[in-house]
Amino acid sequence: MANLTKTEKRVLAFECLFVAGAFVYLFFAMAPNGSGFATGNVVDGPIVFEIENGDSISISTDADFSNPINILEGEEVILPPGYYYWKVNGLLRESKVYSFKVESKVGLNIKEGKETDILENSGNVPIEVSKKGITSGIPIEIEIGKSQEVDKDNSIYEGGQNG
């Protein structure tokens, strides 16, 4: 460096500053980011996240992520009702923390058959189904994503959230 002229030293300093600035810019421009859910969104079904400049997504019921679940981009996740926080995990950084709410959704489908019908819980909470009419019986509890076969007797079935 002792043999460099004053102009060469300035050019070298400028080049170093330019390269350092480019690295700083890339560090911030390539920050992990998620799309699909802004803070405060409300959902009631399966969730699929899209990410930029990241490897995975952490979801937690608390803002400090003490017990997170990690999923990959495009992976579908079904969560029970409640409030959740999420962030994108990158190689060197994490995105800002977002939040969303999963609302309760009660859903009862009836698939009619020749001799039996199938009651299917299509919601995101356990349901209790009652048989209405002359031959009312004990309520049927159906877990999330499960179904129950019942005798076909032209009864009317009514469902609601269990609990």
Decide if domain 33-102 falls under CATH 2.60.40.
Answer: yes
pLDDT in tens, 76-124: 888 889 999 999 998 888 888 888 999 988 888 888 888 888 989 888 8
Of residues 91 and 71, more confidence is placed in 71
pLDDT in tens, 37-56: 656 788 877 888 888 888 89
Cα dihedral 155→107→125→71 (10° resolution): 140
Boundaries of every domain in the chain:
1-30, 33-102, 108-161
Distance CA 85, CA 148 (A): 34
